[in-house]
């Protein structure tokens, strides 16, 4: 399951900019009517009244990403469940689930990030109850055998190998490793290779991971488009009301401040242009404040939560003249101009290119 990073990132930047503008001007950030309610089991449901006659988008956001993978040797499980959630239930086995999705003409997919996993269906609004039947069932009753587990673990290893046939993936993995010493942001969403290779041996742990995080108090359902609010509340209670609340609280360690620059050089076995990737720590996101003064300071402000970081291609690539220089770069408007604690990764081929 893949997602379109540029689209999502662009949308996030627009919303972030709007939030800043709202904080400065007092205007509303989001131009569409929003309703929220919460079931007794902790499941939050958000409805967004959007002008899309006959169409509804249904998102289930699980507040679990690779940041929740705190146990050594068990990275990659948030992404793993992005795959396994399509393996079916007793009521809707894989073939039956796919048949219903096809019958209602829906688009169904999922994506995983460092902080959350999202599953979505876009379909005709008159299929809302069918969608809620499908989604509530797999979130409450996912079933898979040990053979299914091993098969999907092998598919994830294949995905890792495919991604890491590109040197940029290796750079990104190394940059995460350099940027963090303690927080699980240290590994990327797909997980570490040695953990993925060992994944087929941990069927029981996968069941434990699902039991911990796929609980109503850890999920948010977002419905956007053409729907009736009363019907949404009634159906949410009917299909999700019996979902049992969990009690697991992850112990995610805080990242200590970085006090000096870190760098590494990564070799690549095949001819490639040289790349330079740089990252900067930035304040952790807060839903309590839209103040961005700290972005302009020379040292990142320490947050009570683990600080996030932003990576960018070196701005010096615009000065490049030869074919061996970097050709891709972008600038981060939030990066400090003279960072005291930057993280740098560089790579070049171990075999000189003749190009």
Strand partners, 35: 47
The catalytic site residues sit at: 82
Rounded-to-integer distance, Cα 271 and Cα 274, Å: 9
From first to last of its 355 residues, what are the pLDDT tens digits of the chain? 444 433 333 334 334 434 444 444 556 778 899 999 999 999 999 999 999 999 999 999 999 999 999 999 999 999 999 999 999 999 999 999 999 999 999 999 999 999 999 999 999 999 999 999 999 999 999 999 999 999 999 999 999 999 999 999 999 999 999 999 999 999 999 999 999 999 999 999 999 999 999 999 999 999 999 999 999 999 999 999 999 999 999 999 999 999 999 999 999 998 988 999 999 888 877 766 655 444 333 333 333 333 344 444 333 333 333 322 233 333 333 333 334 455 566 555 544 333 3
The candidate with the shortest Cα–Cα distance to 279, out of 301, 254, 300, is 300
Q: State residue 54's pLDDT score.
A: 96
How confident is the model at residue 143, as a pLDDT?
94
3-state helix, strand, coil in the chain (%, to 5): 40, 20, 40
Match 């900067």 to its residue by tokens: 280
Instruction: Give tens-digit pLDDT for 10-33.
Output: 334 334 434 444 444 556 778 899
pLDDT value at position 321?
A: 30
Could you give the maximum distance between any two Cα atoms of the chain, in Å?
Answer: 67
Domain ranges of the chain: 1-26, 32-240, 262-316+326-349
- For residue 184, list its beta bridge partners: none
| Both tokens assigned to 144 | 């898979």
Using N-to-C axis directions, what is the helix angle for 128-141 and 229-240, rounded to 10°?
30
Question: Cβ atoms within 10 A of the Cβ of 60, count?
Answer: 22
The CATH code belonging to domain 32-240 is 3.30.830.10
Give residue-wise pLDDT tens across range 308-339.
444 443 333 333 333 222 333 333 333 333 34
For position 87, what pLDDT does the model report? 93
């Amino acid at each position: 399951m893949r997602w379109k990073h540029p689209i999502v990132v662009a949308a996030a930047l627009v919303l972030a900019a709007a939030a800043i503008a709202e904080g400065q001007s007092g205007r509303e950030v989001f131009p569409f009517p929003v309703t929220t309610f919460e079931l007794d089991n902790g499941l939050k449901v958000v409805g967004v009244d959007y002008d899309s006659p006959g169409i509804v988008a249904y998102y289930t956001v699980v507040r679990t990403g690779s940041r929740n993978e705190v146990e050594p040797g068990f990275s990659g499980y948030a992404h793993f469940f992005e795959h396994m959630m399509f393996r079916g239930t007793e009521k809707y086995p894989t073939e039956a689930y796919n048949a219903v999705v096809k019958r209602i003409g829906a688009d169904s997919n999922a994506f995983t990030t460092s902080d959350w996993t999202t599953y979505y269906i876009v379909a005709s609004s008159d299929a809302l109850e069918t969608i809620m039947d499908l989604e509530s069932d797999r979130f409450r009753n996912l079933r898979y055998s040990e053979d299914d587990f091993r098969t999907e673990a092998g598919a994830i290893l294949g995905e890792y190998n495919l991604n890491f046939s590109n040197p940029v993936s290796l750079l990104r993995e190394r940059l995460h490793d350099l940027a963090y010493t303690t927080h699980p942001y240290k590994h990327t969403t797909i997980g570490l290779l040695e953990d993925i290779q060992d994944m087929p041996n941990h069927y029981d742990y996968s069941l434990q991971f699902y039991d911990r995080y796929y609980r109503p108090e850890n999920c948010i359902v977002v419905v956007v488009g053409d729907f009736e609010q009363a019907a949404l509340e009634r159906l949410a209670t009917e299909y999700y009301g019996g979902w049992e609340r969990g009690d697991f609280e992850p112990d995610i360690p805080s990242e200590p401040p970085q006090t000096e620059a870190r760098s590494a050089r990564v070799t690549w076995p095949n001819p490639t242009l040289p790349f330079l990737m740089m990252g900067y720590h930035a304040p952790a996101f807060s839903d309590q404040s839209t103040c961005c003064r700290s972005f302009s300071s020379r040292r990142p402000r320490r947050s009570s939560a683990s600080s996030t970081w932003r990576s960018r291609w070196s701005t010096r690539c615009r000065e490049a003249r030869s074919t061996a220089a970097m050709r891709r770069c972008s600038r981060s408007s939030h990066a400090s101009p003279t960072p005291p604690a930057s993280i740098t990764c560089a790579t070049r081929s171990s075999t000189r290119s003749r190009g």
